[in-house]
């Protein structure tokens, strides 16, 4: 099962993961990663802009690459867009597989690619207004691991 | 009419999320787009779009090379700066 | 926060993960892995035996090694003992960290070490009775990755 | 009294989870333990415990070398075959 979504409001990672795991009772295991808006550093809000004609198709492409590379029973990739507050979830990934290494590696692979190859633009609100976030060098190093 | 969509930081520089430009009988190419952005927008906008890291999509299809741009009436051009996602 | 437990009954991985994530709102992300009893192959039940004086201390030792190696805000390791049915969770791991690579790698590291270095003995019930499970060669290869 | 705990497959071979052996004034060493297992249990049990992969713990402390065994009255010896956990 592939479950790939762009989400405009807040969502419950635990609820999503529970449903995904229940749908994959045949798998040996489920790996997941949930990224959340980090509080502190003066960040009051985070905004993710996307470009609808590319973004969801791009996420699907990344997850399909993961499916082609790792033996998976299913994968989930939910990504918030819009404005979110510190502590709120931004992205939830999950992969179910017979062998745990495939599940863990698939989550790792999809997260690296979402970071540097998915069509999201991020800005942070601080006390002095909004600031665009530039791509981090580390993100490009992370994706290079998979080549 | 050709719609131009500004993503990320480019929307700040353009001071709008998108512009509608009148189309001509000729297609709109890369040089023509930069001219339009400079005349209807600003030199700053044209320069920001000219940066090598900005990619183009036409009607949701990424262009492999910006020089291939040939937009017609009804097309939507997206100007895509480097992503900072996840 | 370290939350390391041996659990004698069934538990809710989603509930545990929700509480762990809520306790780590300051982290950039939470990685997890949940292993469950795989249905099929004629397996009717799985039994995990442990040796109380060694098992929990051994799990704590593995998680502390992960903490020393990766920069973590917290870690959770819950492991069932006793008899469990197909589809039921066996083990839940979670790690919270500022940087996602640390969280994902910590889960991977702890799982590999639990598989081959924790004091559990596993047997499966099939139609013809109980069968002890031998260590898999792959488990030893997995742990060797971290040396 | 010295308690011996059988883990995993060893409990099947011993047909019990643990045995209580009377202690003597001398400590119980590795050779003495194997003799006890053979006489009170079976040759099969003694052979299974003798396998290089079986480790010993005394009072919850793993022994680095089985030859170091020197159990006294009140001690608990655990016989630990290879794990198959997770």
In order, the DSSP letters of A84-139 are: E-TT-EEEEEEEEESSHHHHHHHHHHHHHHHHHHSSEEEEEEETTEEEEPPPPHHH
**Confidence class for position A114, pLDDT limits 50, 70, 90:** very high
What predicted TM-score, i.e. pTM, was given to this entire model?
Answer: 0.90
- The answer to whether position D19 is within a domain reads yes
Distance CA D83, CA C3 (A): 23
Rounded average pLDDT over A110-138: 89
**Could you tell me the fold of the domain covering C2-144?**
Aldehyde Oxidoreductase; domain 3 (3.90.1170)
Question: What percent of chain D shows pLDDT beyond 90?
Answer: 87
**Confidence class for position B8, pLDDT limits 50, 70, 90:** very high
Note the Cα D41 to chain centre separation in Å. Answer: 11
Question: What percent of chain C shows pLDDT beyond 70?
Answer: 100
Q: Write out pLDDT tens, residues C47-95.
A: 999 999 999 999 999 999 999 999 999 999 999 999 999 999 999 999 9
Distance CA D54, CA C33 (A): 30
Query: Given a cut of 60, is residue D1 above it in pLDDT?
Result: yes
- The answer to whether position B48 is within a domain reads yes
The helix (run of H) or strand (run of E) holding residue B43 is helix B43-50
Q: A117, A91 in Cβ contact below 8 A?
A: no
Give me the phi and psi of D85, to 5 degrees please. Answer: -90, -165
Q: Residue A120: what pLDDT?
A: 93
Residue A78 tokens read as 């939910």
Q: Residue B26: what pLDDT?
A: 85
Q: C17, A30 in Cβ contact below 8 A?
A: no
**Confidence class for position C119, pLDDT limits 50, 70, 90:** very high
Rounded average pLDDT over B55-70: 95
Contact D60 C132 (CB under 8 A): no
**Confidence class for position C21, pLDDT limits 50, 70, 90:** very high
Q: Residue D25: what pLDDT?
A: 79
Q: C99, C31 in Cβ contact below 8 A?
A: no
- The answer to whether position D85 is within a domain reads no
Q: Residue B86: what pLDDT?
A: 55
Q: Look over chain C and give the mean of its residue pLDDT values, rounded to a whole number.
A: 93
Q: Among A72-81, A96-105, B53-62, C35-44, whose mean pLDDT is lowest?
A: C35-44
Query: Given a cut of 90, is residue B5 above it in pLDDT?
Result: yes
Instruction: Say how many residues make up chain D.
Output: 86
Query: Given a cut of 80, is residue C139 above it in pLDDT?
Result: no
Q: Residue A138: what pLDDT?
A: 73
Query: What dihedral angle (degrees, nearest 10) is formed by the CA atoms of A38, A40, A41, A43?
Result: 70
Query: Given a cut of 90, is residue A92 above it in pLDDT?
Result: yes
Do B and D touch (≥3 CB pairs < 8 Å)? Answer: no
Higher pLDDT, residue B63 or A118: B63
Q: Chain A closest CA to B9's CA: distance in Å?
A: 7
Contact C57 D60 (CB under 8 A): yes
Q: Chain C closest CA to A30's CA: distance in Å?
A: 5
- The answer to whether position D86 is within a domain reads no
DSSP state of C21: H
Residue D1 tokens read as 């009294």
Range of the domain at B50: 2-80
Q: What share of chain B is helix, strand, coil (3-state, %, to 5)?
A: 35, 25, 40
**Confidence class for position D85, pLDDT limits 50, 70, 90:** low
Tell me the longest C-alpha to C-alpha distance in chain C: 51
Domain ranges of chain A: 2-144
Q: Residue A147: what pLDDT?
A: 83
Query: Given a cut of 80, is residue D86 above it in pLDDT?
Result: no
Rounded average pLDDT over A84-89: 94
Rounded average pLDDT over D3-20: 95
Nearest CA among C134, C133, C128, C132 for reference residue C42: C128
DSSP-assigned beta bridge partners for residue A92: A34, A78
What CATH number did the domain enclosing B67 receive? 3.10.20.30
Distance CA B79, CA A45 (A): 25
> With contacts defined as CB-CB under 8 Å, which chain D residues touch C119?
7, 80, 83, 85
Chain B residues with at least one Cβ partner in A under 8 Å: 5, 7-9, 11-12, 57, 59-60, 62, 76, 78, 80-86
Q: Chain B closest CA to A73's CA: distance in Å?
A: 24
Rounded average pLDDT over D23-51: 93
């Amino acid at each position: 099962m592939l479950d790939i979504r762009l989400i405009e409001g807040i969502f419950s990672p635990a609820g999503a993961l529970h449903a995904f795991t229940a749908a994959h009772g045949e798998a040996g295991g489920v790996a997941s990663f949930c990224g959340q808006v980090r509080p502190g550093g003066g960040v009051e809000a985070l905004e993710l802009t996307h470009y609808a004609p590319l973004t969801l198709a791009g996420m699907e492409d990344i997850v399909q690459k993961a499916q082609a590379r790792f033996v998976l029973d299913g994968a989930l990739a939910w990504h918030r867009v819009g404005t979110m507050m510190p502590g709120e979830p931004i992205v939830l990934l999950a992969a179910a597989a017979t062998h745990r290494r495939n599940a863990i590696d698939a989550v790792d692979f999809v997260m690296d690619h979402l970071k540097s190859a998915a069509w999201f633009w991020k800005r942070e609100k601080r006390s002095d207004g909004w600031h665009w976030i530039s791509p981090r060098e580390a993100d490009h190093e992370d994706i290079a691991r998979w080549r | 009419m050709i719609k131009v969509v500004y993503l990320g930081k480019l929307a700040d520089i353009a001071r709008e999320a998108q512009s509608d430009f009148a189309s001509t009988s000729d297609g709109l190419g890369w040089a023509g787009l930069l001219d339009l952005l400079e005349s209807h927008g600003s030199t700053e906008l044209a320069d920001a779009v000219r940066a090598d890291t900005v990619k183009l999509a036409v009607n949701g299809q990424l262009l492999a090379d910006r020089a291939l741009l040939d937009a017609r009436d009804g097309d939507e051009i997206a100007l895509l700066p480097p992503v900072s996602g996840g």
